[in-house]
Chains A and B, each alone.
Chain A
Amino acid sequence: MNAALGELTPGRPDSRLSGIVKLAIFAVGGQGGGVLNGWIVDLAERNGFDVQATSVAGVAQRTGATIYYIEMLPRSGRAPVFALAPAEGDVDILLAAELMEAGRAVMRGFVTPDRTRVIASSHRALATVEKMVPGNGAGDGQAVMRALRDQAAGVVAFDMQAIAEEAGTVISSALFGALAGSGHLPFEVESFRDTVRASGRGVEASLAAFERACAEAQGAAGAGGEAQAGEEAEEPAGAERPRGPERLLAEYTAQEGRIAELPEPVRATVAAGLRKLVRFQDPAYGAEYLDRLEVLARADHDAGGAAHDFAFTATAAKYLANAMAYDDIIRVADAKTRVGRFDRIRSEVDAPPRALTRVTEYTHPGSAEVVSLMPAGLGRRVEARPGLVRFIDRLVNRGRHIRSDRIGGFVSLYMLAGLRRWRRGLLRHGREMAHIESWLDTAQGRVSRDYALAVETLRARRLIKGYSDTHIRGLSKFDRVMAGIAMVEHRDDAAEWARRLIDAALADEKGEALDGARKTIESFA
């Protein structure tokens, strides 16, 4: 039982309490937060501090969000009472091992302007719910960065994951380095290093990441702000010249000349589209693209497109290029047999010079793919005989693991890619071209009446992608969206509805949101 409370008067907190450093780590299970936790404890003890650290280990932390918590104070002989978990509005230093986890800390009230200094890795580790969306489901990192700037007493944020990866270690080393560099803890950087050295495992890599992050954070702290790298705005390398036979080069150069005739705002996109199609097929195919585009550009011009920055032509340039470079087996086989691919794979697996790389392709062709590769006439006749299609399916429909680094595997893919020469005569090509014509006709028909709707009509093409079932599902979504648009075609807000339909179609796999949007439209249309 205690009696003397000389230093305490009611209502005035013990001044020594402000000496307690309260540090929370927000991490994703598996990121090595436990190691970081241990390092900070070691660091504090090394510097003569009383320290208490807690964590929550268990199945609920597997790959999920988790919090570590540490309190420390210079040792005084009598043990202080520390809290076991962070309190809202009472955290001094917040370390976040991922951007959204920093956002979670903000949401939960652990980041307050009066005291919380944030050290966060600005990289993203996407959560499953973000990755599942058929379109782009990633959360808004900028919103989190804005909230951090508003809420924190200071922010040090940069990509610590990249630093760790380059050093061949995990993010805990980089976070520890950033903590050292930030100067938020009253310890010498050398004593941080001692802690890492004493940990004994992977010391060299850990220290490499530590040093880089430490320097980066020191720079950030010196500048009184963030080391947040600016938006990466590299120019797409479109100006590079192709190599190849003179005749083809001449053709290509002529086509590039035609681009100059198009309105300025669309030229960059057209150049990228042209290149894509020349790669996909040949320069003549690029010419077909430009032919179509020039027709659309004229319609655009007549519809007063200048006032819209020629959005119609620009949108067409993008989606027409994607549509013409449709995803067929020839394209896949070509991509897998091109020069440079094996080097790219070797760099991806970080292959040392003497190591070999074996590459296995996972493919699963079905009868539909085989028939689509037949000459148009033959293909149609085969399709008309379901028994024959089933027979072909039995013959080919199974998973094939192809060793593309072996001669046999490579040659089979190489020969498939070689069908490119006959592509224009194949069943699939005819179908794709017919689909493109009807889509463009619909869009073009709308441009003079409702410019915005015509642009949305072009955008709907975004829904068609993928192979086999995915492709079929995409086509079906496209059809449903186009039918939905047709229902509202004559309304003033048709473009707005079209946009909603497209967004709904991208929201889930089966198109349930899309069906919901269709129902809404049916209720008034």
Chain B
Amino acid sequence: MAERSFRKEVQQLRIGAGETFRGEGILAITKALLENGVGYVGGYQGAPISHLMDVLADAEDILAELGVRFEANASEAAATAMLAASVHYPIRGAVTYKGPVGANVASDALANLASGGVKGGALVIVGEDYGEGSSIMQERSHAYAMKSGIWLLDPRPNLPSITEAVRNGFELSEASNTPVMMMVRIRACHVHGAFEARDNVAPPLSVRDALSNPQRDTSRIVLPPYSYRHEQEKVTQRLPAALDHIRAHGLNERFGPETAPVGIVVQGGMYNGLIRALQRLGLADLHGDSLVPLYVMNVAYPVVEDEFLEFAEGKEAVLVVEEGTPGFIEQALRAALHKAGSARTIEGKGVLPEAGELTGRVMLDGVARFLRAHAPGLLPAEVRAPNRDAPPPAPDLSDAVPIRPPGFCTGCPERPIFAAMKLVEEELGQHQVAGDIGCHLFSTMPPFFIGGTTMGYGLGGASNAAFDGGGEKRSISIMGDGGFWHNGLTSSIGNAVFNRSDGVTIIVDNYYSAATGGQDVMSSRADNPSKSTGHPISKALEGVGVGWIRQIDRTYDVTKMRDTLREALTTDHAGPKVIIASSECMLNRQRRERPQLQAAIREGRRAEKPKFGVDEEVCTGDHACMRLSGCPSLTLKMPDDPLRDDPVAYIDQTCVGCGNCGEVADAAALCPSFYRADLVHNPRRFEAWLARLRARVIAWLQGRRDARRLTWGTAEGQG
């Protein structure tokens, strides 16, 4: 069960010609796939296209009606390999993943696919996670298109353009026998907009039909002598075909006047940002009609050189607006001008920053800088020669405003794992710790400060391989269940077994691929109608020969977690030691249980709801518990006691009663301030009677004591 449900939204996928679709970018892409007769879809989740996978999963019945196969692939490599169905069969296929991390994983299959080429349209939808809010290394997926010789679409970020690009992508792929990547940036994936729908089209040849009538063509295999021919084919046949198609169908767009002293070349995805800058400079109107000629490259690769040369004709200078480094497009355009013997000026990196997101201010300043140098007449006087002082810099509040990096959610079952690691660290000293990809990586942030590398999905264990030989202390690697099934079983665990690693691996099993939005994985406990779940990680470990396995079924038991980790670090067992720390992702658990609880309360059934609390009088305000938690619901407040200086711990209403606070206080012997209060709704009669009896006895005891001492009424208990 994914974090976000699109059950309601996917109904829009059924609409047909004459109707208007309203919704998010990812949903629009799905609709466009159906309108273009796609035969199979798949991919691997990760922001910003996690929701595309969720949409596909939620739309499985709609896909089935059309005869479209949906596969939740094990990895991006698996997804790309699936496009092999378009090699011999005229079936359109589309897969999606997060780029460039997805492209990294996919590159083996991608290169093989690109070499042999395709018969049916093959589309890779890459969610470019670049700039603000990104959680990955800042690289460009563009390089993959160039090195494998596949085409890269980068459509303007509005729903009509994006959905058009899906159609163009399939057609371009088929016209040039080449897979096509379509890049959608993070905010475009989640942009809310509208487009005119068309009817859905069932694939002319379904994958089921293809199975009945197998086909093969030896010349598509990546083996000599064919692989040499593929290389030639790419440049002599596929590229020219692609260039013709792009030109003939006007995939790139031109806006603005035919003649002008300057022009701007822009990646499709950067179009809106550029228009906003031109609007603010008075050079474009509300609808984007521009006084500066624009060449919008909805196809970022390959560059249609003659089209560009034609655009550049008669202009003194051309600005290339290209986000990210290196500036591949700028390099290609410079080369084109050079080959053509043209002396026109190209500006790009330099006027605009070499690296980093082209945000509003950056774009505005860059375009203004370019125009100031090459067409000052177009600029308003105050921009041309600013005689006013620049606006005062924004006030520096860095002392007051705290950093707020992402962290574990309230009640996260991973928190106690790292609390336990902290406790072991106190006893046995610091250890070499390697992380993986997944929520657990938040352990590097405050308050835990554990681990400092992440080498890729499922590669946590592998990244400690240099330390496999062991030493005075053991290395520790951490991996999520998502990473384990993605790649970790072979690359990290198998590797460790084979090389007789002495290291310790902690596998965080939270029942889902939680970091990407709670999609099911093989070891998920939930029943999934279309997927096979319930395959325990421990069995897989046994299967590949791990001899020391500890399964912890309640990570919140910090004491057990700590003792198990200590055992792993000190046992004399030879070979890898693996701890499976397993508790359900709280975000998903709450999503499932909260409605059930509310229903029970409403219907008068007995239901329990836990919450933790702190005795204000007992808490001394040292905040040791905070340094082992970081839970959003465990916070601070000033005590009512005027004699005290420091704020005390306080648990707010968002607490889900996971138990971490109490267990940590217990395991670390911190303090006795924490209590758990279980609210019992609709108690049974006997239970209620017993509680009343207990309360009476307790009240009698309390009264007896208070009769012999001084007490203050309302302020009682406030220190």
> B15 interface residue, CB < 8 Å from A?
no
Cβ-defined contact, A406 with B694, below 8 A? yes
B642 within 8 A of A: yes
* Residues of B close to A85: CB separation below 8 A: 132, 187, 273, 359-360
Contact pick for B402, options A20, A90, A139, A351, CB 8 Å: A139
Contact present for B395 and A147 (CB under 8 Å): yes
For B89, list chain A residues within 8 Å (CB). none
Residue pair A243, B710 in contact (C-beta under 8 Å):
yes
User: What 5 A-B pairs are tightest by C-beta distance, nearest first?
Assistant: A87-B360, A58-B47, A56-B133, A64-B406, A399-B666
Q: Find the B residue at minimum CB distance from A76.
A: B286
With known contacts A5-B285, A81-B288, A109-B361, A462–B645 Cβ distance under 8 A: yes
Contact with B along A53-82 (1 / 0, CB 8 A): 111111111111111010001000011111
Q: How far is the CB of B634 from chain A (nearest CB, A)?
A: 8
What count of chain B residues pass the 8 Å CB interface test?
Answer: 154
Which of B335-343, B458-466, B699-707 interfaces with chain A? B699-707
Other A-B pairs beyond A1-B255, A132-B626, 7, CB < 8 Å: A10-B283, A56-B132, A62-B409, A87-B364, A132-B627, A278-B710, A336-B615
B691 touches A405 (CB 8 A): yes
Residues of A within 8 A of B248 (CB): none
B-chain residues with CB within 8 Å of residue A100 when the two chains form the complex = 400-402, 404
Residues in A with CB closer than 8 Å to B626 are 128, 131-132
> What chain B residues lie within 8 Å of A356 (beta carbons)?
679-680, 683, 687-688, 691
Cα distance A74–B641 in the bound complex, in angstroms: 55
**Given A53-B192, A58-B129, A358-B677, A283:B446 Cβ within 8 A:** no
In the bound complex, CA of A474 to CA of B671 (Å): 14
A127 at the interface (CB under 8 A from B): yes
> Chain B residues with Cβ under 8 A from A241's Cβ?
712
Contacts of A64 in B (CB 8 A): 404-407
Interchain CB contact under 8 A, B679 and A349: yes
Which residue of the partner chain, among A52, A127, A279, contacts B191 with CB atoms under 8 Å? A52
Q: List 16 A-B contacts (CB under 8 A).
A: A1-B254, A11-B380, A13-B279, A59-B47, A62-B406, A64-B404, A81-B287, A85-B187, A127-B402, A132-B447, A135-B645, A331-B618, A348-B677, A354-B683, A462-B645, A466-B671
* Residue B617 at the chain A interface, CB threshold 8 Å: yes
Given that A83-B276, A107-B397 are contacting pairs, would A282 and B282 also be in contact in the complex, using a CB cutoff of 8 Å? no
A276 vs B712: C-alpha distance when bound (angstroms): 10
Q: State how many angstroms separate the Cβ of B34 from the closest Cβ of chain A.
A: 23
A229 within 8 A of B: no
- A319 nearest CB neighbor, chain B only: B643
Contacts of A108 in B (CB 8 A): 394
Which residues of A in the span 215-273 have a Cβ within 8 Å of any Cβ on B? 236-237, 240-245, 248-249, 252, 268-269, 272-273
Q: Is the CB of A345 within 8 A of B287?
A: no
A88/B359 contact (C-beta < 8 A), A62-B409, A355-B683, A364-B672 known? yes
The complex places the Cα of A100 from the Cα of B398 at a distance, in Å, of 10
A141 within 8 A of B: yes
Residue among A64, A140, A275, A342 having the largest count of chain B Cβ atoms under 10 Å: A64
Question: Which residues from B are CB-within-8-Å of A13?
Answer: 279-282
B276 touches A272 (CB 8 A): no
Whether B647 sits at the interface, judged by CB under 8 Å, is yes
A429 to B500, CA, bound (A): 57
Contact status A465-B622, CB under 8 Å: yes
Q: Tell yes or no: B179 within 8 A of A by CB.
A: no
Give the Cβ gap from A171 to chain B, nearest Cβ, in Å.
11
The answer to whether residues A335 and B615 also contact, given A52-B191, A90-B280 and a CB cut-off of 8 A, is yes
Q: Which residues of A contact B573 (CB under 8 A)?
A: none
Pick from A140, A362, A509: contact of B662, CB under 8 Å: A362
Q: Within the complex, what minimum Cβ distance (angstroms) separates A51 from chain B? A: 7
Q: Which residues of A contact B715 (CB under 8 A)?
A: 237, 240
A363: chain B residues within 8 A (beta carbon):
666, 672
* Residues of chain A contacted by B666 (CB below 8 angstroms): 362-364, 399, 401
Report whether A61 and B133 are in contact in the complex, using a CB–CB cutoff of 8 Å.
yes
A445 at interface by CB-CB < 8 Å: no
Any A CB within 8 A of the CB of B498: no
**CB-contact partner of A322 in B406, B643, B661, under 8 A:** B643
Query: Nearest-CB distance from B602 to chain A (Å)?
Result: 12
A28 to chain B, nearest CB (A): 7
Smallest distance from the beta carbon of B513 to chain A beta carbons, Å?
Answer: 11
Nearest chain B CB to A234's CB is how many angstroms away?
Answer: 10
In the assembly, what is the distance between CA of A142 and CA of B470, in Å?
53
Q: In the bound complex, what is the Cα–Cα distance between A78 and B289 (angstroms)?
A: 12
The verdict on A387 contacting chain B, using a C-beta distance below 8 Å, is no
Alpha-carbon gap, A87 to B281, bound state (A): 14
Partner of B291, one of A10, A67, A349, A410: A10
Q: Which of these, B158, B623, B682, contacts A134 with CB under 8 Å?
A: B623
A174→B246 CA distance, assembly (Å): 50
* Interface status of A303 (Cβ within 8 A of chain B): no
Residues from chain A with Cβ under 8 Å of B369 in the complex: none
Residues of B647-662 whose CB lies within 8 A of A: 647, 653, 661-662
Give the residue of B51, B379, B641, B698 whose beta carbon is less than 8 angstroms from that of A57: B51
Q: A84-B188, A279-B712, A341-B717 in contact; A90/B707 too (CB < 8 A)?
A: no
**How far, in angstroms, from A444 to B515 measured CA to CA in the complex?**
59
Residues of B contacting A345 with CB < 8 Å? 613, 675, 677
Contact (Cβ within 8 A) B406 A83: no
Given contacts A63-B632, A249-B710, A410-B701, contact A54 B285 (CB under 8 A): no
What's the nearest-Cβ distance from chain B to residue A143, in Å?
A: 4
- Shortest Cβ distance from residue A219 to the other chain B in the assembled complex, whole angstroms: 26
Please name the residue on chain A nearest to B687 by beta carbon: A356
CB within 8 Å of A: which B274-322 residues? 275-276, 279-291
Restricting to B246-289, which residues have a CB under 8 Å from any CB of A?
254-258, 271-273, 275-276, 279-289
| B361 close to A244 (CB less than 8 A) | no
Closest chain A residue to B683, Cβ basis: A356
B401-A332 in contact (CB<8A)? no
Q: Counting CB contacts under 8 A, is B391 at the interface?
A: yes
* Nearest opposing residue in chain B for A103, CB measure: B401
| Pair A60/B672 contact, Cβ less than 8 Å | no
Residue among B399, B623, B691 with max Cβ neighbours from chain A (10 Å) = B623
593-637 of chain B: CB within 8 A of chain A: 609, 611, 613, 615, 617-618, 620-624, 626-627, 630, 632, 634-636
Q: Which chain A residues border B671 with CB–CB below 8 Å?
A: 466-468, 470
Per the bound structure, the CA–CA distance linking A350 and B646 in Å amounts to 27
The residues of B that contact A340 with a CB separation of less than 8 Å are: 716-717
Give B359-414 interface residues, CB cut-off 8 Å to A: 359-361, 363-364, 377-381, 383, 391, 393-410
The docked-state distance in angstroms from the alpha carbon of A174 to that of B678 is 29
B642's partner among A20, A112, A236, A359 (CB-CB below 8 A) is A236
Query: In the complex, what's the smallest C-beta–C-beta distance from A282 to chain B, in angstroms?
Result: 7
Q: Is the CB of A355 within 8 A of B409?
A: no
Judge if A337 is at the interface, Cβ distance under 8 Å: yes
- B403 neighbours in A (Cβ, 8 Å): 127, 129
Question: Hey, which chain B residues are within 8 Å of A350, CB to CB?
Answer: 653
* Complex-state Cα separation, A185 to B255, whole angstroms: 33
Cα(A273)–Cα(B569), bound, Å: 50
Residue of A nearest to B129 (CB): A58
Q: Is the CB of A86 within 8 A of B446?
A: no
A523 within 8 A of partner (CB) = no
In the complex, A433 has a CB within 8 A of chain B: no
Tell me, yes or no, whether A106 is within 8 Å of chain B by CB. Answer: yes
In the complex, the chain A residue whose C-beta lies closest to that of B363 is A87
Chain A 293-340 interface residues, beta-carbon cutoff 8 Å to B: 318, 321-322, 327, 331-332, 335-340
Contact A84 B273 (CB under 8 A): yes
Q: Is there an interface contact between B360 and A88, defined as CB atoms closer than 8 Å? A: yes
Residues of A within 8 A of B325 (CB): none
In angstroms, how far is the closest chain B Cβ from the Cβ of A142? 8
Contact A134–B187 (Cβ < 8 Å): no
> Are B404 and A364 closer than 8 Å at their CB atoms?
no
Within B47-76, which residues are at the interface with A (CB < 8 Å)? 47-48, 50-51
- Name the residue of chain A whose CB is nearest to the CB of B448: A128
